[in-house]
Structure 1
Amino acid sequence: MDANTSVAPPAPVCLLSPEQIAGPYFRNPKLIRRNISEGAEGVPLVLRLTIVDAMTGEPVPDALVDIWHCNARGAYSGWSKINPDVEVDTGDIGAVPRTDDDTYLRGGQFTDKSGIVRFTTIYPGFYAGRALHIHVAVRITAGNNYLQERHVAWVGQLYLPEVASRSVLGSRPYSGRTVPVLANDQDFIYTTMGGEKSTLSVHTLGRDSAEDGYFGQMTIGIDTFAVSTQIRPEDFDKYTV
């Protein structure tokens, strides 16, 4: 092989999960907890995410995985007074002024040696202009000051299968909305940023899904050396929980 011969980088062992925007409701999460519900009303959802290195297929231990999503009526903590029936026309972090200091349905966990994190939350509702989704950010930690780490390697959104969502949205406190919910394939971010590869595998926890809730899982393949452009280091200074 001569000096002018280029060498192609090794192909990923597993699929690199598509990144999606962080949206306007990101906050610097310093809440390490498994149960993020804070008593929010809704159908229970147990979430298990497995973080793997897309280049090797190996689990990524000690990564900090943050999730956040709206409540059953479409409101985000920190922005609880924003009307979820009116579409917000910006996706930039910090573009929508905060209205409160609530912290429900936000939190982070460190992956275990198998790359797994588990959360107890509620099935998300929806707000105008979006399908049902859960935001996720993965930070690669180094040293002991984990909560100060700003190396965000991957940012995405996880979608819910529509069969389960229809059942949930027909129950209280989700029902009775004045704005229609978007199907996944009607959501602009879903259709343009790989949403079909970001849909959770969901099944019921018991016979009566409305009472017993759901279990959702997904494996997320990331590039551990990547630096996401969706959440930048300076974004951590805009809003801190």
Structure 2
Amino acid sequence: MIIVRLANNTCVINPEVTSGPYHIDGELYRRDIRDGEPGVPLWMDIGIIDIDTCQPLPGVFLEFWHCNSTGYYSSYTGIDPDTMQYTLPTKDDGTTDDLIFLRGWQVSDENGIAEFLTIFPGWYSPRAVHVHVIAHIDATLADNGTLIGGEQVHVGQLFFDEDLTYAIHNTSPYTGHSQAQRPSNDHDQVYPQSNTTGWYPVVEIVQLGGNYSDGLLGYITIGRHGCFLLGAVVSSVTNSGIHDW
């Protein structure tokens, strides 16, 4: 982990937004959620602060999920990312398969930080590139790695800089899904909802080497009134030996 302290104790409320059509119950407790999915490695370090005390808040259960490099979500790979139409028979719960790539949850540690190892996301129509988060409190870890009980206290979506997205999506394997119809943040239906309180929903990125294949570190500050504030800051970074991708 290369986050050394929480970054921002300015308690700015971020808006609640939809969890979207591709959420599933039963995501697993794990840091590395890649499951072999190709793409630019991305560490997402998210710190959690009590919004009332502005102190790090351990023990928050944070779900995290997004689509793969060509726009497909695990558990819904039978849905065409360009049309959102089912191309395979659905199961009773609306999913099309039992895959779980690019999904997981973590608990914030004693420093208030939850960390995921994933890939830079792809996109699906009609959405800009984004990731989803749901935070829970007072939950417990089941023997099978899923969450039991608790209270859902925040639903949010996070976005990425357009220039960075354009550059990464011009590399393999992202070129397997053309950018020709990819919506920008400014043309996304959820992005403006995430700006209604003056909060900026774009993840800050540090490149960890000379090439994108060396990986990226993402960090952001988001807040929720009466519950928690999320944010992080990176320590000094060298170009080698930080993580085993």
| TM > 0.5 | yes
**Which residue, out of 203, 206, 216, partners 2:206?**
203
Structure 1 Cα separation of the partners of residues 105 and 26 of structure 2:
7
Structure 2 Cα separation of the partners of residues 19 and 191 of structure 1:
12
What does residue range 77-88 of structure 1 map to in structure 2 within 5 Å?
77-87=74-84
Structure 2 partner of 1:156: 156
Q: CA deviation at 1:75?
A: 0.5
Determine if the alignment matches structure 1 residue 180 to structure 2 residue 181. yes
Answer with 128-137 or 50-59: which moved more: 50-59
Answer with 112-121 or 79-88: which moved more: 79-88
Deviations 1:142-178 (CA, angstroms, capped at 9, x unpaired): 5776821240100100101112111110011111435
Structure 2 partner of 1:135: 132
Secondary structure in 1 aligned to 2:192? Answer: helix
Retained in 1: the 8 A contact 2:75–2:100? yes
**Which residue, out of 100, 105, 108, partners 2:102?**
105
Q: CA deviation at 1:220?
A: 2.6
Q: Cα–Cα, structure 1 residues 17 and 114, in superposed 2: closer, same or farther, change >3 Å?
A: farther
Structure 2 partner of 1:221: 223
Q: CA deviation at 1:203?
A: 1.8
Structure 2 partner of 1:70: 67
Q: Give me the TM-score of the superposition, normalised by structure 1.
A: 0.79
Structure number with larger C-alpha Rg: 1
Retained in 1: the 8 A contact 2:194–2:200? no
Retained in 1: the 8 A contact 2:27–2:63? no
Percent of pairs with identical residues = 35
More strand by percentage: 2
Q: Cα–Cα, structure 1 residues 24 and 95, in superposed 2: closer, same or farther, change >3 Å?
A: farther
Q: Give me the TM-score of the superposition, normalised by structure 2.
A: 0.78
Q: Which ranges of structure 1 fall in alignment gaps of 5 or more residues?
A: 1-11, 89-93, 227-241
Structure 1 partner of 2:243: none
Structure 1 Cα separation of the partners of residues 141 and 177 of structure 2:
46
Answer with 119-128 or 27-36: which moved more: 27-36
Structure 2 partner of 1:237: none
Structure 2 Cα separation of the partners of residues 87 and 222 of structure 1:
31
Q: Which ranges of structure 2 fall in alignment gaps of 5 or more residues?
A: 1-8, 86-90, 229-245
